[in-house]
Amino acid sequence: MRKDEVSDDLNEGRITADIINTLSITFLGTTSAKPTSTRNHSSLVLRFEDDVWLFDCGEATQHQIRKWGAVKIETINKIFITHTHGDHIFGICPLLASCMKPPIFTTEGVEPRIHIDVTNSQPLEVYGPLGTRAYIRNTLFYTHTVLNGTYVVHELRFPTDPQDGDYTALSRSPYELEGRNIRQVNGIWESIYSDGAVSVSAAPIYHSVPCVGYVVNECLAHSFVDSSNGTLPSEQPQRRGRKLVILGDTHNPSPIVELAVDADVLIHEATNSYLPPEIDPITKPTDTYEMVEARARSRGHSTPQMAGAFAKQVRAKKLVLNHFSSRYPGDDSESTERIMDAIGRLAGEEFGGEVVCARDFLSLDIARTE
Ligand SMILES: [Zn+2]
pLDDT at res. 102: 78
Q: Is the pTM of this model over 0.85?
A: yes
Ligand 1 center to residue 112 CA distance, Å? 37
Ligand 1 center to residue 248 CA distance, Å? 7
Nearest Cα neighbor of 221 from 71, 57, 20, 32 is 20
Ligand 1 center to residue 370 CA distance, Å? 36
HEC string of the chain equals: CCHHHHHHHHHCCCCCCCCCCCEEEEEEECECCCCCCCCCCCEEEEEECCEEEEECCCCCHHHHHHHHCCCCHHHEEEEECCCCCHHHHCCHHHHHHHHCCCCCCCECCECCCCCCCCCCCCCEEEEEECCHHHHHHHHHHHCCCCCCCCEEEEEEECCCCCCCCCCCCCCCCCCEECCCEEECECCEEEEEEECCCEEEEEEEEECCCCEEEEEEEECCCCCCCCCCCCCCCCCCCCCCCCEEEEECCCCECHHHHHHHCCCCEEEEECCCCCCCCCCCCCCCCCCCHHHHHHHHHHCCCCCHHHHHHHHHHCCCCEEEEECECCCCCCCCCHHHHHHHHHHHHHHHHHHCCEEEECCCCCEEECCCCC
pLDDT at res. 118: 63
Ligand 1 center to residue 213 CA distance, Å? 12
- CA 48 – CA 138 distance, rounded (Å): 32
Ligand 1 center to residue 33 CA distance, Å? 8
CB 77 within 8 A of CB 124: yes
Ligand 1 center to residue 209 CA distance, Å? 7
Ligand 1 center to residue 154 CA distance, Å? 20
pLDDT at res. 169: 97
Q: Is 262 a catalytic residue?
A: no
pLDDT digits (tens, 9 = 90+) for 224-260: 445 555 555 545 556 789 999 999 999 999 999 999 9
Ligand 1 center to residue 184 CA distance, Å? 21
Ligand 1 center to residue 102 CA distance, Å? 33
Residues in the chain with pLDDT values less than 50: 1-17, 223-225, 234
pLDDT digits (tens, 9 = 90+) for 250-297: 999 999 999 999 999 999 999 999 999 999 999 999 999 999 999 999
pLDDT at res. 113: 55
pLDDT at res. 225: 46
Ligand 1 center to residue 187 CA distance, Å? 21
Ligand 1 center to residue 286 CA distance, Å? 27
Q: Which residues, 6+ apart, have CB-to-CB distance to 90 below 8 Å?
A: 41, 57, 58, 59
pLDDT at res. 221: 62
From the candidates 56, 87, 166, 264, give the one annotated as an active-site residue.
87
